[in-house]
């Protein structure tokens, strides 16, 4: 049994979490969900006894009020902090990791342990890669190895901070199988935070976090039931509301059909309750007429090799004007490599590339087209020591935009994309969602025709993600910009016009989203379609 009483954690003098109290029973899986910076990690750190906190934590007969006092329960704790492969030593092999963790956890090596270890390894599918170094593993494999290392000493209290973020759906399912089995077999208390709402349904109980407090608790059905009255089909209204995609959230009664809420809806209803209305994001219509169905990018049999390893092999891909093309695939499927080749950041090892009907043979061809292309990288390439405005001015001057025009553009975009009040702050102090929007603004300053986005929504919370997609649609509709976007959130495929699936560097499917659903009529979500291809 674990009981948390009046937990409060401050981080750099700011209260990250306050008045947190809850109980978890043996064998229970408790989920923490909430936006970025809602205080989930702080709470987990406190329970794991690795950060100073106020309040009291009771674990069975032990009570601790500080990391020092937590020392006596660490024997029972298995903690996996947030970050892909964070606890792994990049130069050590899988086998060396296992030996190391066996020793520092002081585990008695007997037949039972060896069986358990092999069982974990085979569940994680790692037994064939024992000699491979952690640095050479894909993100999904790293997370699975981290989990195996965390569970090696059979912790009675398992604390996992976003163990599945950045992990492909297949690996995620496998991770969950390990977790659920451990909860059942060893009566483990598991506390798990996640960014994937789909996983919340696998949890026995959920705590929904917002601004350092719990705003809702219960299992996923209960939570969804609670917000049912506030979710409607899309409708225009003067009452306070939030409309995203084809759903309208409103706390007052609306004359419209109710919609079945999802767990994501929780965040929107909460935002309404807290009176945090979303700024209406609208982009001015381009004056030029928009041609549809013109091929702007055509890749033929593109290949990239790293040593003996094919990162991309004979990938064909076409991007038409005014289209959002989603590039989906597991970690290490070759998505980033592909985008980098399109951008000319990596040379092609084979195949041909055409941009705007021109064959790209050398960097000269490409430089002529640079002004037509915008790019947002996986880790937003912003300067941390300059304010948002200074960053934007800098990028404007890189694109040789006149100062006066640049000031006007920045003014416009910051209003349209809703980060006006953050203009004079440092990117580091801003939520990821704001950074993401402002990176997008930077990438369209020079009015490109094509936009390449590499996992722009990774790590961003549900509301910010939804807003970001709204923006992309605006860009497509009002500006006619073609967008190529990579993502590992399968649910985001629904927002794309067309989807290309990559697996091990090769294209395995390429179709319009509605056609995928025709092909798999039983599939309830794109995640299930994805799994059909990868199983």
Partner 1 sequence: MRLRIVKAYFIKEMIELIRTKMIMMPYLMPLLIVILFGYGIKMQVTGVRTLILDNDNSQISRKLILKFEHSKYFTTTVKNMSEKDALREMKKANIDAIIIIPSSFEKNSLKGVKTEIGVFIDASFPSRATTMSNYIQGVVMDLASDFHIDSSGVININTRNLFNQALRDEEMIVPGLIGMVLLISPAILTALIIAREKEEGTIFNFYSSSVSKLEFLVAKLSAIFFLVSIAIFVIFLVASYLFNLPFRGSFFLFWLASELYVFTALGFGLLVSILASSQIIAMIVTLMLTIIPAFMYSGMIMPISSMSGDAFITAHIYPVMYYNHIIYDTFLIGQGFKSATNISYLLILFTYGVVLFMLGLLFLKKEIK
Task: Return the DSSP state at 271.
Answer: H
Question: Token pair 């964070």 is at which residue?
Answer: 86
State which residue, 243 or 458, has the beta carbon closest to partner 1. 458
Distances (CA, A) of 425 to 21, 385, 420, 438: 34, 10, 10, 12
Site for partner 1 in 120-139 (CB under 8 A): 133
Sheet holding 14-24, edge to edge: 14-24, 2-11, 54-59, 62-64
Q: How many CB atoms lie within 10 A of CB 521?
A: 6
Q: Is 278 in the site for partner 1 (CB under 8 A)?
A: no
Q: Is 92 in the site for partner 1 (CB under 8 A)?
A: yes
What's the start-to-end Cα distance of the chain, in Å?
38
Find residue 133's DSSP bridge partners: 93
Give the sign of the dihedral formed by CA 500, CA 501, CA 505, CA 507.
Answer: negative
DSSP 178-227: HHHHHHHHH--EEEEE-S-HHHHTTSSEEEEEETTEEEEEE-HHHHHHHH
Q: Is 367 in the site for partner 1 (CB under 8 A)?
A: no
Question: Token pair 């601004």 is at which residue?
Answer: 211
Q: Is 274 in the site for partner 1 (CB under 8 A)?
A: no
Contacting residue, 27, 55, 83, 218, with partner 1 by CB under 8 A: 83
Q: Is 489 in the site for partner 1 (CB under 8 A)?
A: no
Distances (CA, A) of 163 to 123, 203, 356, 412, 451: 16, 14, 42, 39, 31
State which residue, 53 or 249, has the beta carbon closest to partner 1. 53
Task: Return the DSSP state at 72.
Answer: G
On whether the CB atoms of residues 231 and 245 are closer than 8 A, the answer is: no
Q: Is 90 in the site for partner 1 (CB under 8 A)?
A: yes
State which residue, 99 or 411, has the beta carbon closest to partner 1. 99
Contacting residue, 21, 91, 367, 371, with partner 1 by CB under 8 A: 91
Contact stretch for partner 1 (CB under 8 A) within 91-99, 227-235, 285-293, 383-391: 91-99
Nearest distance in Å: CB 92, partner 1: 6
State which residue, 99 or 528, has the beta carbon closest to partner 1. 99
Site residue total, partner 1 (CB under 8 A): 32
Site string for partner 1, 93-122 (x = CB under 8 A): ---x--xxx-xxxx----------------
State which residue, 55 or 67, has the beta carbon closest to partner 1. 67
Site string for partner 1, 17-46 (x = CB under 8 A): ----------------------------x-
Q: Is 88 in the site for partner 1 (CB under 8 A)?
A: yes
Contacting residue, 6, 23, 25, 52, with partner 1 by CB under 8 A: 52
Residue ranges binding partner 1 (CB under 8 A):
45, 48-52, 67-68, 71, 74-75, 77-79, 81, 83, 86-92, 96, 99-101, 103-106, 133
């Amino acid at each position: 049994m674990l009981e948390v009483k009046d937990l409060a954690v401050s981080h750099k003098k700011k209260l990250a979490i306050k008045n947190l109290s809850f109980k978890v029973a043996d064998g229970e899986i408790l989920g923490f969900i909430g936006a970025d910076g809602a205080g989930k990690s702080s709470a987990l750190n406190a329970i794991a006894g690795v950060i100073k906190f106020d309040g009291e934590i009771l674990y069975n007969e032990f009570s601790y009020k500080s990391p020092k006092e937590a020392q006596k329960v660490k024997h029972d704790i298995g903690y996996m902090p947030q970050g892909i492969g964070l606890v792994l030593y990049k130069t050590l092999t899988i086998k060396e990791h296992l030996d190391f963790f066996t020793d520092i956890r002081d585990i008695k090596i007997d037949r039972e342990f060896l069986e358990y270890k092999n069982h974990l390894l085979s569940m994680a599918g790692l037994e064939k890669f024992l000699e491979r170094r952690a640095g050479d593993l894909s993100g999904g494999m790293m997370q699975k190895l981290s989990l195996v290392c965390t569970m090696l000493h059979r912790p009675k209290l398992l604390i996992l901070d976003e163990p599945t973020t950045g992990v492909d759906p297949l690996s995620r399912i496998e991770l969950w199988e390990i977790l659920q089995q451990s909860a059942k077999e060893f009566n483990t208390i598991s506390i798990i935070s996640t960014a994937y709402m789909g996983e919340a349904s696998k949890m026995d109980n959920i705590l929904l976090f917002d601004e350092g407090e719990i705003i809702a608790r219960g299992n996923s059905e209960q939570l969804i039931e609670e917000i049912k009255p506030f979710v409607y089909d899309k409708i225009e209204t003067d009452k306070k509301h939030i409309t995203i995609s084809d759903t309208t959230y409103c706390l007052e009664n609306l004359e419209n059909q109710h919609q079945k809420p999802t767990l994501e809806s929780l965040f929107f209803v909460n935002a309404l309750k807290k009176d945090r209305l979303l700024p209406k994001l609208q982009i001015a219509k381009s004056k030029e007429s928009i041609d549809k169905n013109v091929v702007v990018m055509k890749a033929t049999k593109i290949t990239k090799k790293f040593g003996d390893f094919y990162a991309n092999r004979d990938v064909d891909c076409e991007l038409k004007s005014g289209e959002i093309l989603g590039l989906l695939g597991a970690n290490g499927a070759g998505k980033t490599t592909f985008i980098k080749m399109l951008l000319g950041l990596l040379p092609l090892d084979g195949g041909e590339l055409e941009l705007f009907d021109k064959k790209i043979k050398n960097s000269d061809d490409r430089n002529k087209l640079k002004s037509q292309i915008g790019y947002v990288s996986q880790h937003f390439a912003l300067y941390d020591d300059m304010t948002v405005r200074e960053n934007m001015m800098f990028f404007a001057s890189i694109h040789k935009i006149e100062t006066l025009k640049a000031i006007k553009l920045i003014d416009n975009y910051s209003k349209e994309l809703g980060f006006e009040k953050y203009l004079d702050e440092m990117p580091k102090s801003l939520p990821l969602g704001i950074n993401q929007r402002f990176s997008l603004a930077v990438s369209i300053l020079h009015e490109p025709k094509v936009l390449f986005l590499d996992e722009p929504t990774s790590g961003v919370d549900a509301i910010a993600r939804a807003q970001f997609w709204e923006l992309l649609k605006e860009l497509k509709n009002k500006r006619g910009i073609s967008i190529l976007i990579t993502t590992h959130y399968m649910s985001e495929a629904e927002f794309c016009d067309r989807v290309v699936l990559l697996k091990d560097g090769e294209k395995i499917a390429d179709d319009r989203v509605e056609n995928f659903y025709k092909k798999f009529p039983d599939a309830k979500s794109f995640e299930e379609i994805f799994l059909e291809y990868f199983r």
